[in-house]
């Protein structure tokens, strides 16, 4: 995770960057799963404070558990420091952003959409367990309502915090001279860059034969007949559906906003009567039968059973043969890799960018240690400009893709340097400058915001004067 690792690195620079670090920890969506894991594994010792209010910023509450979870998550990510006061300082900043953001008329209220997205996340998590009860037991939530609320709150806070931070820092820019000055000041504190590689790819999904498509369609037709004969759609979905987001929930999606699902799914569902089941339809995910459960205004509930269009050995072999021909055309100069990616690739993330695979920091560099095993094996021993063998990997939507890659650059481990890593250093320098702007904004808004901090934190040496006399406007 780039945000996390970057923030840990920035921690080494100065106290301004520490504030940004804490902000990004809270605003990282992957924190959700880690939070649940922490809750599940935490052991309360005799005499420990289970939970309680540690601070209030405006009408935003900070619980003791919020700080503990941030500490634990930082430790899991390899942070050198996990001081409770430091994390309280960061969370206070975050809550001030969130509190003011919710009152800011320039920030669009997207609460309804966020709640829908949170429900999708909940369903995705459910799909990884044999039952909803098993999931709730694992994550130590008493009810589904409680867990859904936890996800919603985190996502709403993430949204408002990000939006306010963006507004505060939107006009911050940095000059090449400032980047150079930053580098000269902090070059001995900047992190080492590990072995990296820049790659481009062309990926194609094997085409199913008509006979194979008919086989899948006929299976769905048989399932539909069984349901019409009296069997439960929900049970059939749990048994047969290959949609990880809904199978465990009987194929059900609720409160779907129009435009949210892929077009063929939505068009099919909305052309049904309530309770009616569609014939099999094909989407980019595979083949479905769909049942409209309820339609109300701009929202609807629907169930579906998905069978993924997994290619067989014959279809994969045909795709490999086609890719081998493309590879030979590239090697012979008949077509460039860039043009071949645009013409043949099914990978939406790369085909319009010369096939280049983006790194987590939006550069074209990928840390070798983070490559999946298949890709790492394919590029092993290759030099700059070499093409991999044609191979099979898991592509978008977990579909098998026949792929070739090109090695654009090989970057050995090194210390950050202006000549080769200007953009990365620029990012660090820009974050520092944004931190200074944010710091100024916090100081300006402290006098106008009610803040109360529990006495457990009275001895903390906060960066800001959070313990000031509260003023309520």
Q: Give the start-to-end residue ranges of the domains of the chain.
A: 2-192+418-457, 193-206+312-415, 210-307
CA–CA dist 182, 431 (Å, integer): 11
Q: Give the total residue count for the chain.
A: 473
Strand partners, 306: 288
CATH code linked to domain 210-307: 3.10.50.40
CATH code linked to domain 2-192+418-457: 1.10.4030
Q: What is the pLDDT along the chain (473 residues), one digit of tens a residue?
A: 333 334 433 333 433 333 334 444 333 333 333 334 334 444 444 444 556 888 899 989 988 888 887 777 677 666 666 678 888 888 898 899 999 999 999 999 888 888 878 887 887 787 777 788 888 888 888 898 888 888 898 899 999 999 999 999 999 999 999 999 999 999 999 888 899 999 999 999 999 999 999 999 999 999 999 999 999 999 999 999 999 888 888 999 888 888 888 899 999 999 999 999 999 999 988 999 999 999 988 889 999 999 998 999 999 999 999 999 999 999 999 999 999 999 999 998 899 999 999 987 778 899 999 999 999 999 999 999 999 999 999 876 678 999 999 999 999 999 999 988 898 899 999 999 999 999 899 988 888 889 899 888 888 888 888 866 443 33
**CB atoms < 10 A from the CB of 175, how many?**
10
CA–CA dist 259, 256 (Å, integer): 9
Tell me, what's the pLDDT at 51? 66
Top CATH class, 193-206+312-415: alpha beta
Topology agreement, domain 2-192+418-457 and domain 210-307: no
Nearest CA to 306 out of 242, 252, 253 is that of 242
Tell me, what's the pLDDT at 3? 38
Strand partners, 290: 304
**Cα distances (Å, whole numbers) of residue 371 to 195, 366, 368, 374, 422:** 11, 7, 5, 8, 24
Tell me, what's the pLDDT at 122? 84
């Amino acid at each position: 995770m780039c945000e996390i690792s970057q923030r840990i690195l920035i921690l080494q620079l100065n106290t301004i960057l520490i504030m940004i670090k804490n902000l990004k920890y809270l605003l990282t969506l992957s924190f959700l799963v880690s939070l649940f894991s922490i809750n599940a594994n935490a052991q309360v010792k005799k005499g420990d404070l289970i939970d309680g209010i540690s601070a209030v910023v405006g009408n935003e509450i900070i619980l003791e558990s919020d700080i503990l979870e941030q500490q634990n998550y930082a430790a899991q990510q390899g942070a050198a420091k996990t001081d409770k006061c430091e994390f309280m300082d960061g969370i206070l900043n975050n809550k001030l952003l969130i509190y003011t953001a919710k009152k800011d008329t320039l920030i669009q209220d997207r609460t309804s959409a966020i709640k829908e997205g949170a429900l999708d996340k909940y369903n995705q998590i459910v799909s990884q367990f044999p039952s909803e009860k098993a999931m709730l037991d694992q994550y130590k939530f008493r009810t589904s309502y409680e867990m859904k609320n936890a996800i919603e709150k985190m996502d709403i806070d993430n949204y408002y915090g990000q939006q306010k931070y963006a507004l505060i820092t939107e006009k911050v820019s940095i000059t090449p001279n400032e980047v150079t000055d930053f580098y000269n000041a902090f070059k001995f504190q900047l992190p080492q860059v590990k072995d990296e590689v820049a790659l481009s790819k062309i990926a194609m999904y094997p085409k199913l034969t008509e006979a194979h498509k008919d086989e899948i369609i006929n299976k769905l037709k048989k399932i539909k007949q069984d349901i019409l004969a009296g069997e439960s759609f929900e049970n059939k979905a749990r048994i047969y559906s290959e949609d990880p987001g809904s199978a465990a929930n009987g194929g059900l999606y609720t409160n779907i906003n129009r435009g949210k699902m892929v077009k063929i799914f939505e068009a099919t569902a909305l052309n049904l009567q309530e309770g009616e089941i569609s014939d099999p339809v094909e989407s980019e995910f595979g083949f479905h039968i769909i049942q409209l459960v309820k339609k109300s205004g701009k929202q609807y509930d629907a169930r579906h059973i998905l069978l993924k269009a997994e290619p067989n050995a014959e279809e994969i072999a045909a795709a490999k043969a086609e890719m081998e021909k493309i590879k030979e055309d590239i090697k012979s100069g008949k077509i460039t890799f860039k043009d071949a990616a645009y013409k043949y690739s099914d990978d939406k993330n790369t085909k319009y960018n010369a096939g280049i695979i983006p790194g987590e920091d939006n550069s074209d560099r990928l840390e070798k240690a983070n490559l999946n095993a298949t890709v790492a094996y394919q590029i092993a021993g290759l030099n700059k400009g070499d093409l991999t063998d044609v191979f099979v990997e898991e592509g978008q939507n977990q579909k098998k893709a026949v792929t070739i890659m090109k090695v654009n650059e090989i970057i050995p481990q090194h210390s950050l340097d202006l000549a080769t890593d200007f953009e990365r250093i620029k990012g660090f320098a820009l974050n520092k400058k944004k931190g200074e702007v944010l710091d100024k904004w916090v100081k300006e808004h402290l006098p106008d915001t009610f803040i109360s901090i529990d006495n457990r934190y009275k001895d903390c040496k906060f960066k800001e004067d959070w313990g000031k006399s509260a003023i309520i406007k």
